[in-house]
A = this chain, B = another copy of it.
């Protein structure tokens, strides 16, 4: 069977307390004893049980990561950053893809509670606000990617408002006036902020964003594509489009292609997120970059701050968004609408 601390203690002719001390580099142990014990651990292939350690020390060195879907490139990149930052401090991460379904969120929450994870990063949306309150009262939590107005929680978000402004400025600079927006559910705070920044910037330039040009869709690529095909059939086709994530932009790109509308000459598209997808399409997508790595890293840092230093001042970190110009945007053609 697997060697235990008793086995190495016996071999070394010392107490388990002593072995425990050398493992954890605590107390004062003579150098020779220490080395002797290390040698024995090696020989027995001893791996201290993190389970037993957790039971006594109340730390599992495990984090939970709740996101809508790990197969979504945006969250996969964030997850990678979370993993790396956590690993750096000795933490493992359990992934929980919720599909934004309350039922899945709840099940995962219970699993994470039972496994006694040291903290949870929440990047998923859910309707049940009570759930969040419950969580946050029972263990360290940080929310990423959206605001939680109702509650004091640590959060790290990209500057969505600024992102919306940047997108608008870019399109304005290119001379666009007839502009549409393809958004995810406006129930999500980040979408609302992007829209607000976008609309206000247009407003400052004397343009109004028509309600009929705000298209909301829920199911990603396919749905976005269908909605855009409809839009392109309309009378007053816009010369530019602001999509709230890369997947939606891909849908729009495909819709444009099927409608024989050339991008960017006849239609400019600005996307959001700047995942791998944005650089892979053709034309590649001008996109508002969210710093996904920093999002993950900062989330871990905030969490560890709560876990190890007991920080309870709930911080809020706002990360800068940035315009990445690629090939999907161009100056408006005077002939493009007609």
Binding site for B on A (CB under 8 A): 2, 47-52, 54-55, 60, 62, 69-73, 76-77, 79-80, 83-84, 87, 92-97, 107-108, 110-111, 113-116, 138, 250, 253, 257, 276-277, 280-283
Contact = CB atoms under 8 A, between A and B. Distances in A.
Contacts of A253: 282
Contacts of A116: 49-51
B54 A51 contact: yes
Number of copies: 2
B97 A94 contact: no
A91 B303 CA distance: 24
A69 B51 CA distance: 27
A328 B115 CA distance: 48
A77 B95 CA distance: 13
A71 to B, nearest CB: 4
25 contacts: A2-B138, A47-B110, A47-B114, A49-B55, A50-B114, A50-B115, A51-B55, A51-B115, A52-B55, A55-B55, A70-B79, A70-B80, A70-B83, A71-B73, A71-B77, A71-B80, A72-B76, A73-B73, A73-B276, A92-B115, A93-B95, A95-B95, A277-B280, A280-B281, A282-B283
Contacts of A55: 49, 51-52, 55
Interface residue SS majority, chain A: helix
Contacts of A73: 71, 73, 76, 276
Contacts of A71: 73, 76-77, 79-80, 276
Contact of A114 (B49, B80, B250): B49
Contacts of A277: 276-277, 280
A142 B251 CA distance: 37
B95 A79 contact: yes
Contacts of A281: 280-282
B52 A80 contact: no
A69 B80 contact: yes
The 7 A-B pairs at the shortest CB distance, nearest first, are namely: A282-B282, A76-B76, A71-B80, A50-B114, A50-B115, A47-B113, A92-B94
